[in-house]
Structure 1
């Protein structure tokens, strides 16, 4: 019986345990697993959101907006909660030409706060925006040395343990290098520094500390302010004296003397033994002197050909700005120091203040730029020709095709504009020309109506008496390469701009004088292959009528750029003037009789169309010999014209013969 009873109790116990396990323990385990799964899903969602934010880039551009508006923008952008102190005020300007990530945008936000004297301090799930002096007493982030990664403009407390240097001495050294509202403490028992400042400045201090916290028995730290010398340049000199380049640099811990220059305060931080320190300080005292007057950096360079004002602007652009380092990835400036170049217009000289190294570079550049420039003598002819006149230019007027400059002949033109102009071969043109213009290029002779003229002067002599040809102007210009030459021939005409009258009688009138005539502006540019680029701006203004000081003018302009050979002629035509005239002829007295007078008078209406042509011939003058040759050629042409014999050749004859123009052609 006892055995049966014990077996029954065991069976009941197993049954109860099985029931409890199925109804209580398994659901609890399942619930725990579900909670764990939900936590993992939440973590994955947060990680996915962070990955999306890291790939999101934005553009920040604010111009003089309220700082509270900027804080609200960052809050909505990053999803962070900010509590803003009432003392936070001011205007913010942020310029970001390229897009940045959200993480970088928050760093920009911290930098803006630092510039305006505020700081962001985290307090639980919110971030407080308070003045920087108050932030140093709040619960800010505390970091150990070596734990900082990227410098940010947020206030932190950095604990810096020292290995070899004395904490109190380092405190004295770093005190001038931190802002006035920052805090630096030394803890002697553990030889540590406790610094509360912006993280970017703390990282600067740690870089300096890395160089000076090295082994050395009896070494001491000295801060040496400079009065005249430049700290960075003086450190280079000291390093070359006390640490020769031929000695191998094994590591900072093995150096006996260490120099650090602080550009902001113009001081030198020295780590050396007492004996070496005295030697270094003695040398510094000898070098930190004002520059002697008789050996100063100021020099005067007298120019022979270039203009002082223009050359000074070019050279000054090569000097680095004060305190400005070369941009990353950009070209370093040609000059190493601070050079100043000033132009003296009266003596056409340059006043240069630079050290010997920079002056040698400047002197070499000046010698290459101060050279005699070539000149260009430009013959021009502006004339109007009646369209009824047999005035055929012996050049191929076309919009497409090849211009054969090697054969001293070629052309381009004929009513084209826009992109078609760029398709021209053999002649480069650009600028603004009226619709329907023509442009051609001759060789060294000009072909008109089957007759070849040697020069523009020959054309003038032949057509100066022709009633169908009106020579408006024949300007001749001499200018320097790449310098504009301007000539104006005309009158200064009064134009009535305002008048007042009382009782029907004019009592007061005001006039404005305007130029009416021919204006020609040409800027030549000589290329290395002898071609001449001409930037042409030509304007012809004529009076149409004058009624009570209210004249009507007709203006025709050309603005274009052409490239021609030296001594070749370019002609621009196609500017048509359409003028209507009415003439009346009558028999005196009889023609004035009403009605019957028409039997003794007549009226004639005529339409006259004229074409404006502009001929230009550039002659390059590189030296005195070229000028003399040009003078001889011009003198020969003048002598020929004076004798009444001009060398012209008919193009349809195989044998060229000298002819003179017929009377009806004059």
Structure 2
């Protein structure tokens, strides 16, 4: 039996209490403060609408524009290696809940008690809504329904749909007419419609096609399954469409769910890329799972995901919370530092800046292997004796220098094992020196390379240099110089100290009232300037001759060699054939004569310089050799080899190499001057004795930087005024004329 409290309302206004108007007015007044003025900044560029731009309209439920946080506008680099890209953190549409609309101007109370479903349709569609409708003959059933409070007019159709669904029937609207059909007969009676949130949902049973923008259709189906009835959701994965079917109220719930999850979730994720130095990326992922929880388990499941990037040997951390990236970076760095050699062997290149690659390779091998590194030099089996195979060379070509003995070159490739951290196994390291590029090719674990690189940076530094000024002079010992330069200086200046060169090359200095006349080579310290002045004075009188005065810039602990002289050929072997008419085969060797100076400086602490000096002066004796018995001339040689320590900028004088040459000449009347005893009256005899002393003055100056090197160059230019003028003209762009300058009448070019 059906009871109708309000069959047909005659006037909508009559059914609304006057108090309701007052409530509407009060709500309007309270809503005014909700209005907000636009901020006083410039307007953004207008966004082109599909209609204005000519682009097709994009269908789908309306989505409010979610503004990303300010910190997500640009990538943030947390360190020089690891990169962090924070996201917006928005993964669902921030759509506010829609408030329930006010009741319409008409309300109705329904009370059905065992009423036929056809009568229910007549009351709602015919009496209240005044809509045209048809009922399928197969629709049957009874309804019991009662409302405690009146319901609005717009809730009548959803209520009818609910009652029809309880009786396996559905309401379909077609061409302005409502059709009540059995559920089984709905198929084929409804045309799918494209989902559009701007238009209202159709009344009754409908099928809506919703294009998805950011979420895959299969994923959206999984999200809708808990909220949808059976067989109401279909998926088109090719076109990324979701197809939903149901009554108006069901469709509203499904559309709201789609709108909630179809957001740009990629911009919401925060991503961090962390390169791995020592550990293996796969191993590190397993260890990080213990920190953040295994995949799919724990409170952080799905919030933090760690993806290994083997191509880059890095970890990609994806999380919904940007602050988790710092925590992930901390743990990645901790585990990576303890990775040891698990990262495997990798290839590194170290470009040497100041030294030699082969020397550094040798040092690294000796340093980390604990033994002499194995080079590529050939070796013999145990018990085998070395043998040399060479072609017979009976003589040397004139003018061709003798091949020096091959020196052992530094190893170009070394290999050794390095012990990692506690509990880790030793790993093999291979270092190859590339001479062409002066670089080191290193195959090692990342943790081992970090240690090797630290050592290389300390070894590969700019070497210091030493400017060595040398003065080599030969003094004729006559008059006041009869007893040598030592005696002469001590007679002029009693404060000088002398001493003989002892074993080890260091002088023994002592204040002596009487100069020490020790035969051989002696050392005079702290008197370089005085000796130079004396030699200059003696040179003007013709009593001294400067043999050489070089200035050498030498690297620390490197050998410098200065040589001035001649190369004379010396016959070393004569061979005569045994056959008749065979010729004579002579072998010759070239001998270096003249001034040969070799100096090796070594810089010590306290601005001290250790000098290893090897000095040799040799001359062929005139008038000797050239005979069949002795075809080679006699060669006189004076040499010294010593090691001294001196402060930078001070001079050391090495003297005492005295050579004495005597000769006899006779002149007179031929035959008569040869008569014994009486011959002296017809001629004269002259006995000549020459004594010379070799003096070596060495002044080392430490050059630690480019400024000191420039000062040394400026000092040399000041000593050579002509050279200084030429350099200044060249720096000004003036041409350097060869020979005589052009005539004054000719304009300079």
Report which of the two structures shows the higher radius of gyration computed on alpha carbons: 2
Give the TM-score of the pair, scaled to structure 1.
0.43
Structure richer in strand, relative to its length: 1
Give the TM-score of the pair, scaled to structure 2.
0.38
